[in-house]
Amino acid sequence: MQPCTPEFSLKVLQPETGYRFSIDPILLAGHTDPSPNDRIADLGTGCGIIPLIISQGHPGTHITGVEVQASLAAIARKNVEENRLTSRVSILLKDVRELMPADLGGRVDLVVTNPPYIKQGCGRINPDSQRAIARHEVMLTLDQLLAAATRILTPHGRFMIIFPMERLHEVVDKTKRHTLGPSTIRFIHTKKNKPAELFILTAVNNGNPFLTMLAPCFYNPHVLTDTTNHETR
C-alpha cells in the first residue's frame, strides 16, 4: 500500500473552534504538480493550508488563496507570514462568486479547491457559521465554483478538486458543462478492501473530455502528517 500524503514542515495556526482543516486539502495539495512559474489560485483557502504546502514544495510558483470569511483570511495571512512565504503566497479576502481575473493580477494556470461538499438543501446545517460555510453550499454551490474557475483560468489552464465519492457523477457532468474537460481522476481509499471515499479530479479548461483513471491512493485517516506543527487561536 503506497501512501499519498505529502511530506512538509510547516507551522499552521487554525481556530480552536469553528473551521479546522482535515486530510482532504493535504491530499489535494500533494497531488498538484505545477510547472515552474505557474500562477495558482486556491478557492476557499480557509487557513491557507493548500497554498502553504504547494509553495513549500514548488518555490517557483505564486499562489493566491481566496477566502470569503475575514477571520479565516486573517489567520491565513498570519500563517503565510509565520512560514516566511509572503513573496510566494497572497491571501485575498473575496467572495469566490464575484472573483475576476483582475483580482488576481490576470488569469491563472491552475485552480485548486477543497470546496463545500454538502449539497445545497441536504443535511442539517452546522450551527457554527465557519463550519457551515466550509462544509455546506450555503454561500457557494458547485456550479458557482466552476463558473468562477472558468473565468479566472488561462485557455488551457487546469482545475483540480477533491470531493466525496457520492458526488462523482455530478462533478464530472458539471465540469463538462462549464467547458472544463475532465482529464484524470484518482480514487482515494483508507484500505485496499474498502470502497473509495474521496476522489481527486483534474480538468482542463477548453480541453477534450477524455478521462484517464489513475492508480488508487491510500491514506491513514487518523494521521494528517508527522511534520505539521498545529496551533490554535
pLDDT at 7: 62
Query: Of 230, 223, 224, whose CA–CA distance to 10 is shortest?
Result: 230
pLDDT at 226: 37
pLDDT at 139: 64
Grid cell digits, residue 155: 485557455
Alpha helices in the chain (DSSP H): 23-31, 49-57, 70-82, 129-135, 142-152, 168-177
Chain position carrying cell 462549464:
178
pLDDT at 225: 42
DSSP for residue 97 = G
> What pTM does this model have?
0.85
pLDDT at 232: 41
**Distances in Å between the alpha carbon of 32 and those of 38, 104, 109, 118, 157?**
11, 20, 12, 24, 13
Report the distance separating Cα 76 and Cα 78, nearest Å: 5
Q: What domains appear along the chain, each with residue ranges and CATH number?
A: 29-219 (3.40.50.150)
Query: Of 180, 177, 170, whose CA–CA distance to 211 is shortest?
Result: 180
Residues of the chain with pLDDT under 50: 1-2, 132, 136, 225-233
Q: Spell out the residues 6+ positions from residue 121 whose beta carbon is closer than 8 angstroms to its own.
A: none
DSSP for residue 47 = T
pLDDT at 178: 95
Q: How many CA atoms lie within 13 A of 103 on its CB side?
A: 22
